[in-house]
Amino acid sequence: MFGRILFRIFLSAVGFVVALPGMTEHAKAQAGRILEIEDQPGIVPNPSDEQLPPALRRQVVFYRTSEPPGTIIVDTADRYLYLVQGNNRAMRYGIGVGRDGFQWQGLLSVTRKAEWPDWTPPTEMIQRQPYLPRFMAGGPGNPMGARALYLGTTVYRIHGTNQPHTIGSAVSSGCFRLVNDDVVDLYGRVPVGTKVVVRQRPTL
């Protein structure tokens, strides 16, 4: 019984999407990807599942910003994380973001880094998903994935995932998730103290 509850996935597409001013075509398309998916502790993804669509794959892109090189910028609307390189370039990663009611914006910094981090779901998450374990050691089946960057003193993190199919979707409780290959790459590029700018979708 517990095992069946543990591994259920509830997928429901939201059929009504509002195109907001200033949203790119990619953002408009991604706005429809709001998934109701339960966490799946213990599930180990197949490597082929981590092959993302071209638009979400890690790549260097043209990106104009006044932020200095080394800054992380999270674009919630477009479902991208940018690591500023300078000279109007950035390394871009496809990400999963917080679902409606769990999105946020602000300015923080990376205060800690961890490889194959343990997972202790917050009390609020346990209340929403009571089947979750109270603690899970790091490893391939851990929802935190291969690496984690902890943001300020908040409960939010940039981390990997054992659910690669959720990249490009609004699905999390406020954290930002990448496929494991991408989070390992990002982890190796940024030190503790890195500035993180989170930009939320503009309001009407």
Which residues have a catalytic role annotated? Answer: 159, 175
pLDDT in tens, 17-48: 333 334 454 444 444 444 445 555 556 677 77
**Whether this model's pTM surpasses 0.95:** no
105: CB partners within 8 A, 6+ apart: 76, 198, 199, 200
With tokens 């999390």, the residue in question is 172
Distance from CA of residue 51 to its chain's centroid? 16
Q: In angstroms, rounded to a whole number, what is the distance separating the alpha carbons of residues 196 and 42?
A: 30
List pLDDT tens digits, range 117-145.
Answer: 987 776 777 777 777 766 677 788 889 99
Please state which CATH number belongs to domain 2-14+22-39+58-199.
Answer: 2.40.440.10
Instruction: Look at residue 179 in the predicted model and tell me its pLDDT.
Output: 96
Higher pLDDT, 21 or 201: 201
Render pLDDT for 98-118 as a digit per residue (tens, 0 to 9).
Answer: 888 888 999 999 999 999 998
pLDDT at 39 (0 to 100): 59
Give 48-84 as a DSSP string. Answer: GGG---GGGS-EEEE---SSPTT-EEEETTTTEEEEE
Angular region, 18: left φ>0, alpha ψ -120 to 50, beta rest: beta
Q: pLDDT tens digits for 158-196?
A: 999 999 999 999 988 889 999 999 999 999 999 999 999
| pLDDT score, position 173 | 82
Query: What confidence score (pLDDT) does residue 187 get?
Result: 98
Parse the chain into domains and list their residue ranges. Answer: 2-14+22-39+58-199
Task: Give the pLDDT confidence score for residue 32 in this predicted structure.
Answer: 45
